[in-house]
Structure 1
Amino acid sequence: GQQEGANIGSPVANVRAATQRGLGKASLYVRLVPNATIDERDFITNTIRSIMDDTHAIIDVRTLTETTQTAADLLQVFFAVCAIIAFVLAFFLLWTSSSANVRENMWEIGVLRACGLSKWQVVRVGVYESLSLTLSSILLGTVLGGVVAITLTVQFNLFSELPFVFLFPFTLYGFMVFLALVTAVVGPWVPTMDVAQAPVALILKGADWCS
């Protein structure tokens, strides 16, 4: 315990001696061992603060980094929850619009079935149409979003004089792309299958086979 206290108190004693001698200092950096505990860091911080006046500021870089990382992780979780809610709503919206679209184009589906296409091929036609729209939206959204984000970041760095660092949220982006693809496949799958599995004659007549 005495040896540990001596090791911790040595840099503090040097700071106190330098302060008493009146040496001019612009900044002071204190590096602790990597395995230093929170109590040890707080002890060093409070001891240095006690021998300095109020015109100086003391920043614990490790604590500040951990706090920032925690806030960033919570923000990512918040974005993920918002994405899930948005895609659930988008799924039901796509399902409703696909059902209305299929009902309006029943005759075309009946013609495709009469030409020899199986129900699975008809379903794939609807899924491919939805996927093409979704993939094009993902591509355009990624390009435009990246350009806007980079532009705003560069403008912000002009005022803050910070270096430009490009950090892309690959985890959140991949999660949202996965949800978008699942929504694009499952959304039109159910209503198209409901029509495609009906008899061709009923589809061409536009009869309600569900009754």
Structure 2
Amino acid sequence: MAVNLFSSNGKTYHVLDFNNLNEKGLEPLKKAIGKAGTQIVKITPAGTARKKDGIRMRTFGMKVIDEQEVAVQVNDSGDISAISLNKKPVPFTGAKDLDALAKIIASAVSANARVFAKSLARKLARAGKTAVERQKTGLKSNAQRLTEQKERIESAQQKIVAAQTVVNERTSDLQAKRAQAEDLKNKLRAEQAQGRTLKTEYETLKREVEA
């Protein structure tokens, strides 16, 4: 689906297949993002190309498990010209390969998860309040209004819990990865120290043999 494009300054950038920005064509990217720690639950294929400054562009979307939305704008050359998260730009200057691109997207989603969960909770609370106010002007019985209000509150609470669970999982996963990285660093330091010791012993034996 994708290849690497060499720019004039010698750097390698990842590009996508402009003609296959659909669920099937973007499956490798979806899997790579999942591997990077973010689950994509829906891909919205790119629509009809539009021109900007003489360049044809298409944009596809991805929905994350916690309801965050990613949009990726692709030029007709396959270059990724912009990435946005919940309609806000994500800093992006190019990715050398598919895994690097996936990590950029996953990191942005993870970093914004807590803020998004709180924002979602506020929106749900406002929606519930508005719905209750509208009900007051209706002709429904008190029993009907009470039942429907309870259902909305329960639904909102479930969504808040689900969003918070995702945030907790992201935090736990990040901590585990940091601990793993630190463990690998310690092992590397130990291996390097052992290597220096063996080298010293070798040089000592070599001098003794030559003597």
Give TM class, smaller chain: under 0.3
Structure with greater helix share of residues: 1
Q: What TM-score do the two structures reach when normalised by structure 1?
A: 0.25
Higher percent of residues as strand = 2
With a CA cutoff of 8 Å and minimum separation of 6, indicate the structure with the bigger relative contact order: 1
Which of the pair has more CA radius of gyration?
1
